[in-house]
Amino acid sequence: MGNFLPNDLVQRLNEREGFDSEAFAAVHEQGDKVTSIRLNPFKQKEVPFSGADAVPWCDLGYYLPGRPSFTLDPLYHAGCYYVQEASSMFIAHVLETVGLKDAGARALDLCAAPGGKSTLLNSYLGEGSLLVSNEVIKSRANILLDNLGRWGSANVVVTNNDPSSFKRLPGYFDLLVVDAPCSGSGMFRKDKQAIDEWSLANVKLCSDRQKRILAESLETLITDGYLVYSTCSYSEEENEDILDWLLSQYDFESIEIPIEAAWGIERTTSRIHGAVGYRFYPHQLRGEGFFIAVLRKRTDQPTFSRKRLRPEKATVPVKELENWIEEHTSFSYFMHADELYMFPKTYLDDLQWLKQVLYIKRAGTNIGKWTGREFLPSHELACSIHVHQHIAAQDVNLEVALQYLRKEALDPQDFQGRGWCLVRYKAVNIGWVKVLPNRINNYYPKEVRIMNL
């Protein structure tokens, strides 16, 4: 057996009944990397790659036979799919099992960046839901913003807060997802540097941090609300021991999630309370190391005053927007500086409550600017699933699409008509241009353009 894996970790894993340490070491020595994507059901119905195999626990997930150049795929930039590790997609199966799929739930993704689990939650909870995606690290919160902006839904609020901030929303969320910061042993195959950084001391540090994050956020769950706890660690201190700590300190019950033997997922239980968790090992399935467990809150959780707050007044050209937004009367619109945003009317009171206690980076979709005379559409609106279907659009081939994504000059002969126009690739919007008599103004955002390869 290879000696490149930390001995302390392998020793502890060997103490687990039936653990195959030779197969575990071999799969890391081989270094094979599994590439998987999850489709955006609001934009993409078919897998845009040949030879893909279905991820068994996620009906939108697919394994790819290799790793294509996603950078050179316009559908990737349009938010048609998310490149996500297959093991993490198990949350889709969890949501269906506990009855939250398309349930119109309020959900909090507490440690959300870069956005894999948030985009999954948004897809499975449905358009009638409200998702709060939080990231405490500012730079990572910006990445989260970009990924959710491409995904295209307006029923998302992105926040940049410490977990303790959510104590001020007791009894509010139906679902709390905590993909906790961890020692990262489950990512050894993808990130060799993580092997050098791993230590028992770091495992202990992460375990303490995980307890703090949980302790400061659990009040935000309603009575009978669900906690989904996950890590990319193999260490019991960060997984089963956390479940025992939760059941010892708080009034939760462990929820069993049915799995099929063919999936290769290992059902595990904690030592003290027998709480059920699920371990994913790369030598047993097509995915990286992962741990997940589901708990239901049993305690009677008081909540905060739900009195209606007076909405902020803003001069918004609602009539002007009816030609830009599908079912535009289903949304509320508000200004921040000169930027215009849309947000579901259903959750307008909720947005006011959230604003009282959280730092919000973005609520809903940034749809553009209002100059007082003219509406200037944003890139987020182009990516939105709510953009009006009758707006002028031009389908382009791959060569022109990549020229556009590089923010290069475009040939007027490739575009018809005049004025604002959506650029489409394979019938999917990738951004805006303005068609003028002698030139095309390319409005793809400079900060996300493809650099020449």
Active-site residue list: 232
Flag whether 135 is marked binding: yes
Flag whether 113 is marked binding: yes
The alpha carbon of residue 290 and the mean position of all alpha carbons in its chain are separated, in whole angstroms, by: 16
Flag whether 92 is marked binding: no
Measured distance CA(438)–CA(289) in Å, rounded? 55
Measured distance CA(172)–CA(198) in Å, rounded? 37
Q: In this structure, are strands 365-370 and 428-435 parallel, antiparallel, or unpaired?
A: unpaired
Measured distance CA(431)–CA(307) in Å, rounded? 40
Phi/psi of residue 160, nearest 5 degrees: -130, 80
Helix (H) or strand (E) holding 141: helix 138-151
What is the arrangement of strands in the sheet containing 440-442, beginning at the earlier edge strand? 393-395, 419-425, 428-435, 440-442
Cβ burial of 422 (10 Å; 0-12, 13-18, 19+) is buried
Flag whether 197 is marked binding: no
Flag whether 102 is marked binding: no
The angle subtended at Cα 358 by Cα 353 and Cα 359, nearest 5°, is 130
Flag whether 319 is marked binding: no
Flag whether 238 is marked binding: no
Flag whether 181 is marked binding: no
The alpha carbon of residue 392 and the mean position of all alpha carbons in its chain are separated, in whole angstroms, by: 30
* Binding-site sequence positions for S-adenosyl-L-methionine: 111-117, 135, 162, 179
